[in-house]
Structures are given as C-alpha cells and as structure tokens.
Amino acid sequence: MTAVKGTGQGDAVSRDDVAAQTRQLYAGIHERQITEETSTRLPGYLELIDLDVTGLNCLDLGAGSTARDAIRLISAGAASVALVDVGDAWMTTARAELERHGIPAERYSLVDATGWMAGDDGSRYDLITCSGVLHHMEDPDSALTNVNMRLRPDGHFYLMVIGKGGLVRDFVMHTMRDLYASDSGFRSFMDGDPDAMLGTIRAGLHGLAVDRDRPLPAAYAQLLDLLSGGLDVDLMLTLKDRVNSPIYHEYDLAMATHLLESHGLRIVQRVYTAPQFTNIRAILEPVYSHPERPISRLLMGSGDLHLLATKAGRPH
C-alpha cells in the first residue's frame, strides 16, 4: 500500500481530524455532484459482479451524501441497506436523495461511522460495500477487521480502491499533491470554488492563444478551444477529490490481495467499469474498462480496482 499524503496543513493531525477533514471535503463535492447530476456517472457494479442482491441485507461503508450505492442496491432488490459515514452532517442530504428516489424509510438506516467502528451491535450482513473510501482511511486495517466481523459466513464484500502507477495518475497523485502541500498559491486555487477554478483554467488557455508575440496557427488555436470546451465542473470536482483529500492510499492488485487476505477475505472476482464522462476524460474511458492494454498501463498503471471478496474459509 502506498500512502499519498500532503494536505498542506503543516502539523500532524489526529485520526479523527483526518476523518472529519475528509468528510467535509466530500460533503462539498457530493452536494455539487447532486446539483450537476453527475453523481451517477460512474456505472454501477451490480450488473457486473457474480452476486444477486435480491433480498440481501447490506451495509455501505462510506456511503456519502449522495447515497448512490444504497439507492442502487435497494433498486436492485436488496432488502435493506445500512449507510455508514463519519458524523451526522451528511445524513440530511443522504436522506433527501433516498426520498427523491422513492426509497422507503424502512429499507435503510443512517449510521455514524465512529460508533460503528468502536463497537459491535451484533448486526451481520450478506453484503458490505466500500466504494472509493478505504483509500482515504488513516487505518484501513481497523475498517477491514470490522468488515470481516460483520459479514455473515457466506457474505460478500465489494471493494473499490484507486489503482497505482501510470503517467496520468502519477502526475495527479504525486506532482499535483506535492504542489498542493508546498505551494500556498496552488493550494488556494485548489481550495476554491469549482466554477472559479474552471474559469481560471479557461482564461489561461485563452491567453495561450491570444497573448502572443506572433499569431498562433489556426489549427492549434482550435485545439486550445477544443481543450477548453472539454473542461467542466465535474472535472474540477475530480481534481479536488484527488488532490485535496488528506490521505490517498494507492494499490495494485497484489497489494490489495495481500491486504484483504490479511483480514480473512479472499478475492473471487475483479470487474472492470467504464465511467461515462461528458468532458475530455471521455477519451480515457477505454483505459478504465480495459486496464490490461499497454496504453492503459502506460497512462493509468494498474487501473482502479473493483473487487468482490468472500470470507477466506468459504468454499469456492
């Protein structure tokens, strides 16, 4: 596991502070994703995994304000979902999203992760999901210990974590995060409103085309216009996710396998999902869905990991 830190906050902070900072960051991102109607651009995994969720009692660890996975699980026939995340500030937005999608209140519960991590209420689940959350945790081992304890003997665990390596990923996850930690001007830009970020970048690209000692050839000017048009608020929110988050662990498949196995969990399936982007990242959609291709490995390394696991003692 490679831990990528660099919050630019200076002194070390406690684990609770890291969790609170992370939750605060994602509250803003998720609420804007809801407004932009981009919270569901990531395709679901339920149609890809070898598991029928009909009638299952589920838990979504790190559910977030969008309640995206809980909505998908219940819509696919799950009996119930416990949504778990840090604190209670996220619950109002999550409840509103569940209600907006017609999810009855008796089909879900909203749970503060602090209490969930601290003790065992005896509840056991058929499926626990943790999508895009474990890589932000100061102590992923404690989370996985809880996952194993709360899974039924024949239960499943779905995990999504960010991959490791590749030119694009290393630039964002290392170069940009290092700059965020060391450069106050860049940090101020990244902490700003996503609309303002978008406007600043577009103005900079326009300046490359017009603020010149000699005219730019028309074809290159058109290329800059195309690039500018391919940027949007959703891309700015993704950059905030990658750069501003206090902690971002990176994994390749071997690392994720070792981590899960050390907590009694065995991978039974890896699935490949392709985000449905409306911005310039649409160019990279095949990189996500086919991480084994040479160009995919060059740009994104191991690819993001979408893994279905069971308890290690369960027969194949």
**Predicted confidence (pLDDT) per residue in 274-305, tens digit:** 788 889 999 999 998 899 999 999 999 999 99
pTM: 0.88
Whether residue 12 is predicted with pLDDT greater than 50 in this model: the reply is: no
Do residues 112 and 86 make contact, with C-beta atoms less than 8 angstroms apart? yes
2-165+245-311 maps to CATH 1.10.10.10: no
Residues 102-159 pLDDT 10s: 999 999 999 999 888 887 888 899 999 999 899 988 899 999 999 999 999 999 999 9
Choose among 145, 127, 7, 15: nearest CA to 78: 127
Which residue in this structure is represented by tokens 């999550």?
Answer: 94
- pLDDT value at 31 more than 80: no
Q: How confident is the model at residue 9 (pLDDT cuts 50, 70, 90)?
A: very low
Domain map of the chain by residue range? 2-165+245-311, 167-243
